[in-house]
Structure 1
Amino acid sequence: MLELRHLRTLLALQETGSVSLAAERVFLTQSALSHQLKQLEAYYQQPLFERKTQPLRFTLAGERLLALAREVLDKVAAAEREVARIRQGEAGELRVAVECHTCFDWLMPAMDSFRQHWPAVELDIVSGFHADPVGLLLTRRADLAIVSEAEPQAGIVHQPLFAYEMVGIVARDHPLAAKKVWQAQDFAAETLIHYPVPDEMLDLWRKVLLPAGVSPLRRTSELTVAIIQLVASRRGVAALPFWAVKPYLERGYVVARQIGEQGLSSELYAALRSEDAGLAYMQDFLATVRERSFATLPGLTVLEG
């Protein structure tokens, strides 16, 4: 009765704390996942978690199966890596280029985990911020690039990593703090503080402000903490990933508000050369990035390829 897919479902439930989010994580509809859980509970003749808690809380029986899931899935992943090493070899080079200033919050933990799995792969970050990381792939100065758009290009494939919400942040005593949802016009009279990148790399500009014809005053800063400090001092407003600003929200430095009626969603993809897409260590690096990010960053959603 107990299959690997059940164990993956239990882990997804534990990491997300929600049936709906877990269903998205394992690529099932919510009803299909609920049916799967009911089958398990019928088989073991007892509930595996308490349905009316938020976040979801496992019963003792559920905790035991959850522990089994961690143990078994870790061993399965290790065995699959060993088989891949036998087939393709253990050594290689993986130089990562990034175009986002907040990538390092989740990239570094993933790199640490990856090094334990593939110690013979030379893993490095191409130093500096790169406005055209895909160009580094084509000139063989990088092997993988983290990008926000999957633009078709000859010789390049894109693998989805995850999607996340961009939120507007403002000082607690700013007039915009009273609005739960911001529209493009709310930025018109403000100073927009953002990273020093081209406009086309700013999702707020590309998806919200430009279509509405809104062009606020600008100010740039390289560091997230500096942007937070400027916003808290009422020098302007900003739009940043929810997971990047959550620690500052918890300390009460600033407040966050939804941008647009549906929220402002941003995406991250891994771009790599077509010839390298099948390398086992490359695919394991992408799997590690997704696994670590979903386990540690709040508010992520699955991004389908």
Structure 2
Amino acid sequence: MMRHASLLECSSRQPDNSIRLLFHRTSINLMVRSPLELRHLRTLLSLAQTGSISASARLVHLSQPAISQQIKVLEDWYGLSLFERKSVPLKLTQAGEHLLALAREVLPRVASTERDLDKLTQGEAGQLRIAVECSTCFEWLMPTMDTFREAWPDVELDLISGFHCDPVPLLLEGRADLAIACVTKKRPGVAFHPLFGFEIIGLVSKRHPFADKAFLEPEDFANETLICYPVPDEMLDVVTRFLTPAGIFPPRRTTEMTVGILQLVASRRGIAALPNWSMQMHVDRGYILGKRIGRDGLFGELYAATLPEPSAYLLDFLQTIQDVSFSSLRGITPLP
């Protein structure tokens, strides 16, 4: 029985001596069980996605020593390094790339099979009504829905219309099945699922006097209009965690539309603060400028809220959010 033949199939190039050693070791230990398990493949994939052991540990909900131990087990078994030491972000060796290719081939097939089993036990049809806190979520929500439809074509997806500054109560009212929110106040009958962390950046016009500043300080907002969504103060991290503690209370101008915020900032009508993942495209295009808020930055967290016992397809939707987000959004981090 030849073990790990799929590793050779992952590359059309002739394997170098280190890879030959991997398979030579395999061939002389045919009767010894390989330590390679699905958890190792998930860890390798998370390391490739995040680029660090600490971020990977948060993504797969393990400790950093546990991640390091998994890698050590594989490296000791194969007699090869899987990562280049002291590289930032972590860089895979050729042996690591082969195992990563295996993870990318095997894990989706495992997920698909488990999904099929869920369909057998719970049925394939249903409804998933989604309420979001702000329109910036559509940056990753629409691709997530497209991916989800391929796996669950008989689940009807519906976005709850209107602007919801606090969408979580819609769950308890029976009007939504999933709510996306930044605030995680404990509420009876509601379960919160961590999605990802992100940096909140300040947005200024290219012609603004702050255009050359490396970061914004609370005093910079004192004589500016804060452009934001029409939500209470407690839902604005830039207000509760940055401006109010410094005694800064700038005037407001609100709009429900993200494009409206962008237009007002570009026209020098004020300063805004929004998630980096929602604004990076506009910053890259030079439409506006993005500035770190405070010397060390201002960071937020995004959660999904559901009722305590979500369906199989709802749980799969939550996993799809993370899969799509970590493969496409820049600057996000796993949450514990």
Q: Same fold (TM over 0.5)?
A: yes
State the percentage of identical aligned residues. 56
Cα 1:252–1:278 change in 2 (3 A) is: closer
Q: Quick check: 1:296 aligned with 2:328? A: yes
Q: RCO (CA 8 Å, sep 6+): is it higher in 1 or 2? A: 1
Query: SS at 1:133's partner residue?
Result: coil
Q: Say if 1:162 and 1:269, in contact at 8 Å, map to a contact too.
A: yes
2:125 to 78, 83, 91: 91
Q: 2:205, 2:267 within 8 Å by CA — same for their partners in 1? A: yes
Q: Could you tell me how far 1:240 is from its partner in structure 2?
A: 0.9
Of 52, 55, 75, the residue aligned with 1:41 is: 75
CA distance, structure 1, for counterparts of residue 71 and residue 289 of structure 2: 38
Conserved? CA contact 1:185–1:214, under 8 Å: yes
Amino acid at match of 1:294: F
* SS at 2:280 equivalent: helix
Matched, 1:221 2:245: no
| 2:168 matches 1:134 | yes
Give the residue type in structure 2 aligned to 1:279: S
Within the alignment, does 1:282 sit opposite 2:314 as a pair? yes
Contact 2:163 2:256 in 1 (8 A): no
Q: How many pairs align? A: 302
- Larger Cα-atom Rg: 2
Q: Is the 8 A contact 2:215 2:295 kept in 1?
A: yes
RMSD: 2.2
- TM-score, with structure 2 as normaliser: 0.82
CA distance, structure 1, for counterparts of residue 255 and residue 291 of structure 2: 21
| Deviation for aligned residue 1:101 | 2.0
Higher mean C-alpha deviation, range 235-244 or range 30-39: 30-39
CA deviation map 1:49-98 (0-9, x unaligned) = 33455444333322221111011111111122122222222222111111
The residue number in structure 2 matching 1:26 is 60
SS at match of 2:162: coil
- 1:22-54 per-residue CA deviation (whole Å, 9 max, x = no partner) reads 233223344442343233223222232334554
Q: TM-score, normalised by structure 1?
A: 0.89
* Residue 60 (str. 1) matches residue 94 (str. 2): yes
- Between the aligned partners of 1:148 and 1:56, the Cα distance in structure 2 is 30
Deviates more, 1:264-273 or 1:48-57: 48-57
Tell me the SS of whatever aligns to 1:71.
helix
Structure 1 CA distance, aligned partners of 2:276 and 2:253?
20
Report Cα offsets for 1:75-133 as digits up to 9, x if no partner.
11112212222222222211111112201111111111111222222211111222342
Contact 2:141 2:321 in 1 (8 A): yes
Instruction: Answer yes or no: is the 8 Å Cα contact 2:197–2:335 preserved in 1.
Output: yes
- Residues 196-226 of structure 1 deviation map (CA, whole Å, 9 limit, x = unaligned): 3333322212222233331112223333344
Amino acid at match of 1:154: P
Measured after TM superposition, the shift of residue 163 of structure 1 is: 1.8
Task: Check whether the contact 1:168–1:259 (CA below 8 A) recurs between aligned residues.
Answer: yes
Distance 1:271 1:252 in 2: 35
Aligned residue number for residue 111 of structure 1:
145
Partner of 2:197: 163
The aligned residue for residue 179 of structure 2 is: 145
Q: What letter matches 2:232 in structure 1?
A: P
Range with greater deviation from structure 2 (85-94 or 106-115)? 85-94
Counterpart in the other structure of 2:305: 271
> Any unmatched runs of 5+ in structure 1?
none
Asked if structure 1 preserves the Cα contact closer than 8 Å seen for 2:58 and 2:335, the reply is no
Give how far 1:272 is off.
1.8
Partners of 1:16 and 1:70 lie apart in 2 by 15
Pick closer, same or farther for the CA change 1:237–1:132 going to 2, 3 Å.
closer
